[in-house]
Structure 1
Amino acid sequence: MSGHVIALSGGIGGAKLALGLDRVLAPGELTVIANTGDDFRHLGLHISPDIDTLLYTLAGLDDPVKRWGRRDESWTFMRALGELGGETWFQLGDGDLAIHVERTRRLAAGESLSQVTEGLRRRLGIGARIVPMSDESVATRVQTDEGWLDFQHYFVSRRCEPRVIGLDFVGADLARMAPEAAAAFADPALRAVVLCPSNPYLSVDPILALPGMRKALAACAAPVIAISPIIAGQAVKGPTAKMMAELGLEPSAATVARHYDGLIDAFVVDEADAGLSVTGLEVAATPTLMRSLDDRTRLARFVLALADRLAGPRG
């Protein structure tokens, strides 16, 4: 079955499923709405970590070892910066640096973040659309036992070590959904909306905090499906389980399902969590750990087949 698919994604975990969807859908059938709450200014540059992870992953340029940044990277700039006493806590490879310089130049020239991202994905030969959640600034801030920290200082500089007390998405209440994101929800050929297995609190919630986003999901005629980033009580990657425990939440797939209550029609869990039951929600179990491209495409096909079954026959 053909049709348009929307994926809401953060960085590495979401990009894995986005790649699977991109490989099984026809060019132009996938729109990935990327979290930009992680965006920040660094060394005078506009950095968009989740957008860049999606660009590199879908273009086949991602580093399979570090799992962030570009493959075959060199580090002359960072070494020289360190020798000058500059800030080196946020690593920017030489190839990676180019995309930040070009983005910053084009934004300064008056282009929107959507326009810049569209230009970059075309230059990299990516068939799927990658759009920021908003062209306006939204900044994720983390309240910790050390005080409030900007997201990248919590995540990269402090390596997620401080205990999390709360979260704030500064500017989200005044930001507007990017035009391409709003248009994707209005597409009459919309087949499914997929909430990728990104961190629900750090990667998906900033997207959901935008005015109109929750309403768009709740009113969506196409099936909305979320994939759990938790397997048997453990996060596949990153601080999700640690954060949940610190916020007084049980680190489990069931907790994530309840977090999306009222927004989704179905929830996909790993086979390790088979048997999970959530009132009013279709729960489907399948292997969700994505170690290879085959894993990613297989999960993408499973999610799309589930969406088609929930939608029923057309016409």
Structure 2
Amino acid sequence: MSDLAITLLAGGVGGAKAAEGLAASVYADSTHIIGNIADDDEFHGLWVSPDIDTLIYSLGDQIDRQQGWGRKNESHQVLNELEKLGQETWMTLGDLDLATHIFRTELRKQGVRPSHIVHRLAKRHGITMPILLPTDDVIQTRVKTNLGALSFQEYFVRERCQPTVNAVEYEGASIAKATSESLSQIEKSDVILLAPSNPIVSIGAILAVPGIKDAIEKSNAYVIAVSPLIGGKTIKGPADKMLTSMGKTNDSKGVYECYAGLLNGFVIDDQDSMDATWLETQGVDVLVTPTLMSSTAEKAQLLSKVIEFALAHRNVRAA
């Protein structure tokens, strides 16, 4: 596997599960991750990177498995005290989690590249699978809703995904610059995997960084996506609601349309097998298989099957 290069584009919980699956497979040493940074925001003067931290905590076995985010064995004394002081505390940040944000914020103030900060945080948690950033610049997802423009965390956490979504923008994306590490990794990739993350605000935000999508299109990689939907519903997150709000169907077809023109392969759950024929008419190879990932074994099994499928079909297309 030493010559194989796999790149995983990953958002929060779904992306972390895919990363864990690859880390537990024979493809661990061949994989690099490019994570979503457009959910980042400032809270209590600290810079918070929810999707990146979910990747780090998951791969470092520090994640709260029950809720899918945050640190396990967490306490909230600081947040409770801030609430008593009259501060808004709807963004739940635990005491252990706050140490991460304090460290990140201090290094950012010192001018350290965000990419290097992620490397140091990953090293602290014993992670060997490289986590790359699509850009070191600030990009923030803005959700246009019936309540007005909201940051993604305001929409997702504070408003609990209730507002109707009219449009999504990636503020700062037009002037951002892709990191050399992410572009180099994409260029040499044999397989590029889009995790079962929200195609609009997670994977879509990564692809919005100038140069990233173009690099994928120009690469010789086999590009494959795993649908985040099972029976038209997400396990976590608002992808199904956002697809509908954005005028797309909340099924495999709607997810595919978010990536149209980019994919060679597409993975859908058994419950969505009725979409396979339509997807194949779009020119993509389709893998129909159970995609629910609860245990480490299930994660490794699915991701191994996806990579094996991608490599086999890559060879067929190259023949």
TM > 0.5 between the two? yes
Structure 1 residue 28 displacement after superposition:
4.1
SS in 2 for 1:173: helix
* 2:155 equivalent in structure 1: 154
Unaligned runs of 5+ in 2: none
Residue 132 (1) aligns with residue 133 (2): yes
Would the aligned equivalents of 2:187 and 2:220 in 1 still touch at CA under 8 Å? no
1:172-192 deviation per Cα after TM superposition (whole angstroms, max 9, x unaligned): 1111112211121133xx231
* 1:107 equivalent in structure 2: 108
Q: 1:293 aligns with which of 290, 293, 296?
A: 296
- C-alpha distance in structure 2 between counterparts of 1:254 and 1:302, whole Å: 22
Residue 43 (1) aligns with residue 44 (2): yes
Would the aligned equivalents of 2:5 and 2:190 in 1 still touch at CA under 8 Å? yes
- C-alpha distance in structure 1 between counterparts of 2:62 and 2:142, whole Å: 29
* 1:204 equivalent in structure 2: 203
The TM-score, its normalising length taken from structure 2, stands at 0.95
- C-alpha distance in structure 1 between counterparts of 2:228 and 2:291, whole Å: 9
Greater Cα shift, 53-62 or 125-134: 125-134
The ranges of structure 1 where at least 4 consecutive aligned residues each deviate by more than 6 angstroms after the TM superposition are none
Matches within 5 A, 1:121-270: 121-187=122-188, 190-270=189-269
Would the aligned equivalents of 1:22 and 1:127 in 2 still touch at CA under 8 Å? no
Would the aligned equivalents of 1:141 and 1:150 in 2 still touch at CA under 8 Å? yes
- C-alpha distance in structure 2 between counterparts of 1:280 and 1:42, whole Å: 45
1:264-311 deviation per Cα after TM superposition (whole angstroms, max 9, x unaligned): 100000011124122211111011011111110011101110111022
1:89-125 deviation per Cα after TM superposition (whole angstroms, max 9, x unaligned): 1111010000000001111111010010011111211
Structure 1 residue 27 displacement after superposition:
5.3
1:2-25 deviation per Cα after TM superposition (whole angstroms, max 9, x unaligned): 512100011011110111011114
Give identity over the alignment, percent.
38
Q: What amino acid is the match of 2:258?
A: H
Unaligned runs of 5+ in 1: none
1:46-85 deviation per Cα after TM superposition (whole angstroms, max 9, x unaligned): 1000000000000000001121100000111111111111
Q: What amino acid is the match of 2:142?
A: R
SS in 1 for 2:200: helix
Would the aligned equivalents of 1:267 and 1:284 in 2 still touch at CA under 8 Å? yes
Matches within 5 A, 1:3-42: 3-25=4-26, 28-42=29-43
Greater Cα shift, 4-13 or 229-238: 229-238
Q: What amino acid is the match of 2:55?
A: L
Greater Cα shift, 81-90 or 46-55: 81-90
* 1:56 equivalent in structure 2: 57
Q: What amino acid is the match of 2:242?
A: M
Q: 2:306 aligns with which of 279, 288, 303?
A: 303
- C-alpha distance in structure 1 between counterparts of 2:229 and 2:296, whole Å: 20
Q: What amino acid is the match of 1:311?
A: R
- C-alpha distance in structure 2 between counterparts of 1:103 and 1:30, whole Å: 24
The TM-score, its normalising length taken from structure 1, stands at 0.96
When the two chains are superposed, the root-mean-square deviation of aligned CA atoms in Å is 1.5
* 2:119 equivalent in structure 1: 118
Structure 1 residue 26 displacement after superposition:
5.4
Residue 312 (1) aligns with residue 308 (2): no
Q: What amino acid is the match of 1:40?
A: D
Q: What amino acid is the match of 1:239?
A: P
- C-alpha distance in structure 1 between counterparts of 2:184 and 2:23, whole Å: 19
* 2:287 equivalent in structure 1: 284
Greater Cα shift, 137-146 or 305-314: 305-314
SS in 1 for 2:266: strand
- C-alpha distance in structure 2 between counterparts of 1:51 and 1:178, whole Å: 16
Would the aligned equivalents of 1:28 and 1:129 in 2 still touch at CA under 8 Å? no
SS in 2 for 1:310: helix
Q: How many equivalent pairs are there? A: 313
1:20-48 deviation per Cα after TM superposition (whole angstroms, max 9, x unaligned): 01111455421111111101111111100
